[in-house]
Amino acid sequence: MPTPRSTPDVDAVVVVDWSASSRPARAGGGPDGIWAAVAATGRDDHVRSFRTRADATGWLVDHLIELADAGHRVLCGFDLPLGYPTGTAAALGAPREAVPWRWLWRHLDRIVVDGVRNRNNRFEVASDANARMSGRAGPFWGVPQTRSLAHLAPGRVPFPFTLANGEPIAEHRATELAVRDVGGAARSVWQLLGAGAVGSQALLGIPHVHRIRHAPSLAGRCAVWPFETGFALAGAPAVVLVEVSVSLLDVDPTLHPVREAAQVLGMVDGYRQMAAAGELASAFDPPDVDEATLRAASTEEGWILPVRREVTGPSPWSQGVLLPPTAAPAHGERFEELVHRRGVVVEQIVSSSSPDTSEQIQDHDEWVLLLDGAATLEVAGVPLDLAAGQWVVLPARTPHRVVSTAAGTRWLAVHVHSR
């Protein structure tokens, strides 16, 4: 069992922006890599990138040991889902007496293959999970058109999704809905591919967090909130692993030229500000939800740790350059988030001549402009040809899909999430 600390004060924060890339990130860091920021009393803030998940995990274990050995109380946050909607573990075959989150973490650690150069079997794992849970495609969804798996579809499946046992399973965890209520952009763990998808990060990230939690050198000094600690910080050991969401803060581009690095630097600064103001310990307290939701969060779904950050002086401004048509991938689309402010996300999309044609249904409004190129959409069953300069509004829950695009077609999309 983890050994409790006598003081609840956090004086070191590590925040990790995860990646589900299937190849090593570019040297020197970029949007396809893993970024980790560290803020600790008596040390300068710093951020670094990792080309592979294996590299990141090895460094994290060593750094958490170093911080704990130096007497720090460490909050280590991961921007990836650490739980699944209620009923997932049981549907996958967990025994009735098993603790759902613990069984699921061990299960994923056994079956997920993630090589030292990021080659992995996440789509096969999701297809097998669907076969166990429902016997058909779902609840996991999202796979490249070039892959053919018996129980995994490219397009979104309807929710609530009915499992083989006749029980429905939700699209979102309660914590994701809570994040959306305050303007964040938490996505469903079931979506593996596409803009903003986090399902692949969860499948590939949980086994690594499991290994960090059970690193022999951290034995007795590490625990997961709220699964092992309950909804409290007092009494937790030296290192507390938590789920965080970078979407809860506006990006401050003055912190770093790479967006992902700026995000994790902003997060560690936010938690440090909360600690200095005496507000961080209370962020670990139970959220204002009913007992059933609280029990589910403590045993299977998990919860996202709240954060706030005050920016002194005028709001940071930023500038940038749109991706050129030549940035189009060989298949599918490239998504680049440009702005994320108070529930509004602006992104650029560059399409290949073989886009993802699966149907999409979003729970937020979207405005999309075709900058250049040509495309055909299908909106609520109606074909729609778009040329440069034309735009369309897609209200929430409107079925739509891309039928075809010219290579190098560029879009600008604005997503409006409820606050």
Q: How confident is the model at residue 288 (pLDDT cuts 50, 70, 90)?
A: very high
Q: How confident is the model at residue 312 (pLDDT cuts 50, 70, 90)?
A: low
Does residue 419 surpass a pLDDT of 60? Answer: no
Number of other residues whose CB lies within 10 A of the CB of residue 252:
18
If phi over 0 gives left and psi between -120 and 50 gives alpha, with beta otherwise, what is residue 85?
Answer: beta
H helix intervals, 182-325: 199-213, 259-276, 280-283, 291-296
**Domain end among 273, 300, 317:** 317
Looking at the fold, whether 358 and 303 belong to one and the same domain comes out as no
Number of other residues whose CB lies within 10 A of the CB of residue 93:
11
Q: How many domains does the chain have?
A: 2
Looking at the fold, whether 205 and 338 belong to one and the same domain comes out as no
- Preceding omega of 168 cis (within 30 degrees of 0): no
Looking at the fold, whether 281 and 216 belong to one and the same domain comes out as yes
**Rounded to an integer, what distance in angstroms lies between the CA atom of residue 229 and that of residue 240?**
9
Mean pLDDT of the chain: 91
**Domain end among 317, 335, 368:** 317
* CATH number of the domain bearing residue 349: 2.60.120.10
Q: Which domain holds residue 199?
A: 1-317
Q: What's the rounded mean pLDDT across residues 265-274?
A: 95
Q: How confident is the model at residue 363 (pLDDT cuts 50, 70, 90)?
A: confident
Looking at the fold, whether 55 and 110 belong to one and the same domain comes out as yes
pLDDT of the residue at 7: 44
**Domain end among 317, 336, 368:** 317
Looking at the fold, whether 392 and 362 belong to one and the same domain comes out as yes
Looking at the fold, whether 377 and 265 belong to one and the same domain comes out as no
pLDDT of the residue at 313: 57
Contact criterion met (CB below 8 Å) for 283 and 272: no
Looking at the fold, whether 247 and 198 belong to one and the same domain comes out as yes
Q: What's the rounded mean pLDDT across residues 104-123?
A: 97
DSSP per position, 124-155: HHHHHHHHHHTSSS-SSB---TT--BTTB-SS
pLDDT of the residue at 180: 84
pLDDT of the residue at 31: 73
Looking at the fold, whether 88 and 108 belong to one and the same domain comes out as yes
Looking at the fold, whether 196 and 143 belong to one and the same domain comes out as yes
Does residue 112 surpass a pLDDT of 50? Answer: yes
Number of other residues whose CB lies within 10 A of the CB of residue 307:
23
Looking at the fold, whether 112 and 85 belong to one and the same domain comes out as yes
pLDDT of the residue at 117: 94
Contact criterion met (CB below 8 Å) for 74 and 67: yes
Looking at the fold, whether 212 and 335 belong to one and the same domain comes out as no
Work out the percent of the chain whose per-residue pLDDT is above 90: 72
Q: What is the pLDDT of residues 1-27, one digit of tens each?
A: 555 544 458 999 999 999 999 999 988
Q: In what order do the strands lie in the sheet with 222-224?
A: 46-50, 34-40, 12-17, 74-78, 239-243, 222-224
Does residue 316 surpass a pLDDT of 70? Answer: no
Q: What's the rounded mean pLDDT across residues 358-384?
A: 91
Looking at the fold, whether 212 and 128 belong to one and the same domain comes out as yes
Does residue 257 surpass a pLDDT of 90? Answer: no
Q: What is the pLDDT of residues 137-184, one digit of tens each?
A: 999 999 988 888 999 998 889 999 999 999 999 999 999 999 988 877
